[in-house]
Amino acid sequence: MNFNKIIENARTSSFGMWKLNFLLQRFIPFNKPHNLKVICIEPNKVQVKMPYIKSNLNHIKGLHACGLATAAEYSSGLLLLSRLGMKKYRIIMESIEVKYFYQGKTDAIATFELSDEEYQTTVISAIEKDGIAYKVCTIHLHDSQQNLLCTAKTNWQIKSWDQVKTKLT
């Protein structure tokens, strides 16, 4: 399966977007109950919708804080993977910090944007220099009335697969 081709098709057709979301739900089963959907995937921007549904609500009928954090992680990770590709680089989230401002009572949209210049200087140049990059991504989540629900910062560790060392037990 060619991930880059799936991404390109999602950018240009509604069927391609449906196919991307279908495959992502199968490959990342943890996110399936949240019914997260990619609604925009451009070279410099990804938006993920977290619907206001029962499985995403907390005890006071607002969008759950951990669900919002998951949508933030999803959008930033997907944009990085779509830029880097999955074959050459491994990304893993090192940390996440979320600041909450407003209770979500409608669908939420997580938006992450990364300019070409920032991508080159903070990711590619760091990998070329040190073999590893740490990219802090700031993601904004808004509800359908454009209220800022929260801002998340994910810190991704990025390195080529040949640099990855795993311990076998």
**Measured on CA atoms in the order 38, 42, 43, 47, is the torsion positive or negative?**
negative
Range ranked top by mean pLDDT from 30-34, 88-92, 154-158, 163-167: 154-158
CATH homologous superfamily of 3-163 equals Hotdog Thioesterase (3.10.129.10)
As given in the structure block, the two tokens for residue 80 are 């990085």
Contact 9, 21 (CB under 8 A): no
Q: What is the model's pLDDT at position 120?
A: 96
Closest CA to 157 of 96, 94, 114: 94
Closest CA to 165 of 157, 29, 109: 157
Residue 91, number of CB atoms within 10 A of its CB: 18
At 11-66, the pLDDT tens digits run 999 999 999 999 999 888 888 889 999 999 999 999 999 999 999 999 999 999 99
Q: What is the model's pLDDT at position 31?
A: 81
Lowest mean pLDDT among 30-44, 93-107, 140-154: 30-44
pLDDT over 70 (residue 137): yes
Q: What is the model's pLDDT at position 48?
A: 98
Q: What is the model's pLDDT at position 162?
A: 77
Q: What is the model's pLDDT at position 85?
A: 85
pTM of the model: 0.91
DSSP string, 28-66: -GGGGGGT-EEEEEETTEEEEEE---GGGB-TTSSB-HH
pLDDT over 80 (residue 93): yes
Contact 164, 86 (CB under 8 A): no
